Amino acid sequence: MPDDPDVPGLRAVVAEDQALLRVGLTRILEAGDITVIEAVDDAPSLDRALARPDVDVAIVDVRMPPTHTTEGLRSAVAARAARPGLPVLVLSQYVEPLYARDLLAGGTGAVGYLLKDRVADVDVFLAAVRQVAAGGTVLDPEVVAGLVSGSGRHRPLQRLTPREREVLELMAQGRSNAAIAERLVVTEKAVGKHIGNILTKLDLPPAGDDNRRVLAVLAWLDGEG
Q: What is the pLDDT of residues 96-113, one digit of tens each?
A: 666 666 666 666 678 888
pLDDT of residue 105: 66
- Per the omega criterion (within 30 degrees of 0), is the bond before 66 cis? yes
Counts for the chain of helices (H) and strands (E), in that order? 10, 6
What's the chain's Rg over C-alpha atoms? 17
Q: Where are the domains of the chain?
A: 11-139, 144-222
Q: Which residue has the higher pLDDT, 87 or 173?
A: 87
11-139 maps to which CATH number?
3.40.50.2300
Helix (H) or strand (E) holding 129: helix 122-133
Of 166, 169, 159, the closest CA to residue 203 belongs to 159
For strand 111-115 and strand 35-40, is the pairing parallel, antiparallel, or unpaired? Answer: unpaired
16-63 confidence digits (pLDDT tens): 999 999 999 999 999 999 999 999 999 999 999 999 999 999 999 988
Of 73, 122, 126, the closest CA to residue 102 belongs to 73
144-222 maps to which CATH number?
1.10.10.10
Question: Does the pLDDT of residue 217 top 70, yes or no?
Answer: no
Q: How far apart are the C-alpha atoms of 99 and 118, rounded to whole Å?
A: 17
pLDDT of residue 69: 81
Residue 189 Cα to chain centre, angstroms: 26
Q: How far apart are the C-alpha atoms of 107 and 216, rounded to whole Å?
A: 10
Q: Is there a shared CATH topology between the 11-139 domain and the 144-222 domain?
A: no
Q: How far apart are the C-alpha atoms of 90 and 15, rounded to whole Å?
A: 9
